Amino acid sequence: MRLSQLTNIQQDKLHQEYEELERKIDYYNRILTDDELCRQVMKDELNEVKEKYATCAVRRLKLSAEESLILKTLRRRRGYYYHQPFGLH
């Protein structure tokens, strides 16, 4: 395979990745600006957490670093910033 063909293949892959990132950014911006969508996303994700940890009656949630950052960002955006870690007691 010629170098120019390989270069074009890599460019196509980068272009696809760029478009996917643009779609994700647009979606995340819509979440931040649309209160109803934000509530729905939070509700869906909390239901997923509930299902995931439904085996124990009382359990502290251990959030990943990314989940914790997302939760803190949403709280700051909505004016509900807490210094305690999020979890069920």
DSSP notation for 50-88: HHHTTTSSS------HHHHHHHHHHHHHHT---SSPP--
What is the C-alpha separation between 89 and 67, in angstroms, rounded?
18
Cβ proximity of 37 and 31 under 8 Å: yes
Please indicate, yes or no, whether the overall pTM of this predicted structure exceeds 0.75: no
Cβ proximity of 63 and 86 under 8 Å: yes
pLDDT value at residue 31: 93
What is the C-alpha separation between 52 and 82, in angstroms, rounded?
24
Chain segment 10-58, per-residue pLDDT in tens: 888 999 999 999 999 999 999 999 999 999 999 999 888 888 776 654 4
Cβ proximity of 45 and 76 under 8 Å: no
